[in-house]
Structure 1
Amino acid sequence: MQQVVRTITLTYNSLSRPHRIMLGSLILVTLAVFIWQPAVHLPENDPISKDITLNLTQPRSLPLDVNEPLEQTIPEPDEILQDELDTKSPNGSSTNEYVISSGDTLGNILTQYGIDKADIALLASQHRALRHLKVGQQISWSINANGDLQRLLWEVSARESRIYDRIGNHFKEKKILQQGEWHDSVLKGRFGGNFIKSAKNAGLNTTEIRAVTKALQWQLNVNKLQSGDQFSVLMSREKFEGRHEQSRLLGVHILSNGKDYYAIRASDGKFYDRHGSGLARGFMRFPTMRHFRISSGFNLRRVNPVSGRITPHKGVDFAMPIGTPVLSIGDGEVLIAKRSGAAGNYVVIRHGRQYITRYMHLKKLLVEPGQKVKRGDRIALSGNTGRSTGPHLHYELWINQQAVNPVTAKLPRSEGLTGQSRRKYMATAKQVVSQLRFN
């Protein structure tokens, strides 16, 4: 270092006096530019200046990305799906349902749907039986407009259900034991322009129609059936004192444009085709070819660090360079591909009946509405459009019209039955298929 300084000094002294003066002046000017900071004065009525009162008694922590969450400037899934099977309660509450799979617990199921961990712990501590959910059982729950858990229904068996209603800080249990007779019924019909109306004419109620569309969601969209297509549905119905109390879909067969579609229930509560192959289309966890840093996480109860208001962040933000390929996480149909205000360029894709994904702040769109996409297809290039302070991708996953954490949500995967489970299923499927045939 001393040798470098000595060399610079000798070189400087060897310069002529005018050159030394010029070089010294240049150094001083450069230092002045770095040190000088101009004062900025805003008029009192300037539209970008305002007084903010902070509640200093409440501790706050800034998230990784201090951007405001997006305002509701684009349609949410319940606004996109417009039929009577997707209506929400007028008070803003919503209901979700879930079939228990291997490894599931009450906690990991409800957490992925954004239910507060305190609500889950309260329910589980008061009713310990919920810690013993079994594969094939179904639970459904409702939340209010603020996302608080209000009710949980646990279908223990075809004969027993348990309802847990919230009363203050307590969940009250009510057991319902069914005492009616169960009978299998085959209901058949032809599509006449509106599937819901055609199914009701065949004797199906709204709950049963919803079960049919859900079972078939990975094979076809029932709203796009052609006039004259046939359907056959096998329902197991309980009749008590002359009334139908509840029902369970056992199988469905649709003949559309000369092609057969089957969905048959197995003992695990899931639906498979007549060969025992899973109907679900597998999803990728992330919409990119490689992992990127999450700059802002999923948080339905996110408190705005400035305003103090709860402003939910319904997705995750991935920090990535502009122009990074964005991929569809699964097979589906593009519902929206356009530019909006805060969202910038964005894409909405529907996967089956239950799942919707949304991708925002894109630089370039590579798909258009109505286009069918496969898992891994390029749908856009990431960008910095709309209300965004830096290049990133805002990605959302919605299940049953409820935003869930895409990093932890349990995603559908392609699977089939094997071994004893498959042999048992095939015996059942043979009987169901014979009942679903068209004359």
Structure 2
Amino acid sequence: MMRILRSLPRTHKLLLLPVATMVTVLGAHKIVTTVEDVQRDSQTLDTVHVPLDPDASPGLPSLDTKRTAMADAFEMANRALDATRDHVPISALTASEIVDIDLIASVRAAKTEPGLPETLALPAVDDASRNGDESAVDVATLDEGARHMAVVIGTIASGMLEVDGSVVADATSYEDVSEDELAKFDEGPIVLEEQIVTNEPYVPQWEIYTVRSGDTFAVMAQKHLAMGYSEVMALVDTLPEPRILTQWRVGDRFEYQLDEQGDLLALRMMKNARDGYLVERQGDDFEVATIERAGEATQRLFAGTISGSFARSAKATGLTSAEVSQLSRTLEKKLDFRRDTRRGDRFQVLVESDVIDGKSLDPRVLAVQYEGERMNLTIVRNPDDNRFYTTDGKSLDPAFNRYPFEGRYRLSSNFNPNRHHPVTGRISPHKGTDFAMPIGTPVQAPANGRVEKVGNHPAAGRYIVIRHDNGYKTRYLHLSKPLVSNGQRVSMGDRIALSGNTGRSTGPHLHYEVLVNNSQVNAMKVSLPENQSLKGERLVAFQRQAEPKLAILESGQTGTVVASSDQQAPGNDEG
């Protein structure tokens, strides 16, 4: 055995250390007992005969009567030696009962913990060691890595970690570590929250700034947004409506985002609850996008009774000024408020609006029911063309409006072929109708058509000529500003110009002409085309869409009646 050990290089000797460790830790008691028995029997110490059990396995002597995990450890060591080139593996040796006792004498163990070896020494065996000269023995101290491997293998072999395939609970560390040694590697306490914050990427948050008295955007941007004066001016110039930043009012609010260094990333400003602008930094420049917020469509039913003027009675129901104005413009196409309304007449109005942040925006009259002494009228808005129709599909809008403007203006000069000229006194036919109105009053197209001419004349001033789809023509004279161009398509109600006092005119007014077969006619008396009506599939579709609105009018339950225009039945919220 010793000859084999001497023939092995140092590396392979270390591979045998797990076996030596197990022999030392687990079999020391049996070996020492055997030596004592030999000495008692006065046998020589050259060799010691260790009796084997009848069922012992070939190879190294068994230190236990049963085959345990130690045998597996021996086989593991043998496999490691088998991989060693040019040396005889232990597994190839012939079974023997003789062990050189010098192997036992040469093992040294110093312990810091009961049962756990700290250092192991394996002598370089020579003749001096055989003669008992311990001073001549070259003791090699086992390094920490090899010692750790030997202890772990020995632990596995002893069955401490596994019994019948199950891990036992008495496994433990094999060496104590002092506080001084721990302190060498102390990196301070680990705070979980700080570690998480450190690892998370930076996410900019929206912050809100409220305008205070005396604030200007230039000063505020330098203090809070880390912007220089030139950057402030560049941002203001980028906005389509710079006044949103230059004309602040106390209480105005806007939102902004900053990066990790505190520089501006984005700016969000709202003109109102629906519309606004988003400014984002792109390198050294700014990009502006339009914000359009969608509200929740909500419908409300209002009911009232005429007790004075129609406008005052409508406002008493809770309608806003904008809603009353829209309702009046809708009904005046069929209802003359001076002649047709009477005290005690009743009406109901279904209005839809978008609610954003609790505010009602963009009101739209959907349906009206008027029950009066002189007239009963029920009309519903058709979503397909945004016009009002009666329940049987007749349009509230005529195919040709009588007046080319909204509101009422004094008729200052009628159509009169025998009119005397106001300056010369001679008969000078007036082939149009004049309406006295302030300069800048909007002029509207009375029907669909195409602009035929936009021009300027010494007597007529600025003027427009439109050819309509039904073959009629209309002319507009003495305008201050045309709003259309030659060849442009216009629809009924489109603004085409602003009234004025250009050309030969005695005062601000609109000269309006209607031509049939290229001849001027009295615009106030000419027979205009019939109202447009819905027929066939268009009528069926309209009536299907009108049903839920008519059901709401019939219910008479005022207040919020449905959440959206798609609802089919009224609610129970009383107004």
Q: Which TM-score band (shorter chain)?
A: 0.3 to 0.5
Structure with greater helix share of residues = 2
Structure of greater Rg? 2
Greater relative contact order (Cα < 8 A, sep 6+): 1
- TM norm structure 2: 0.29
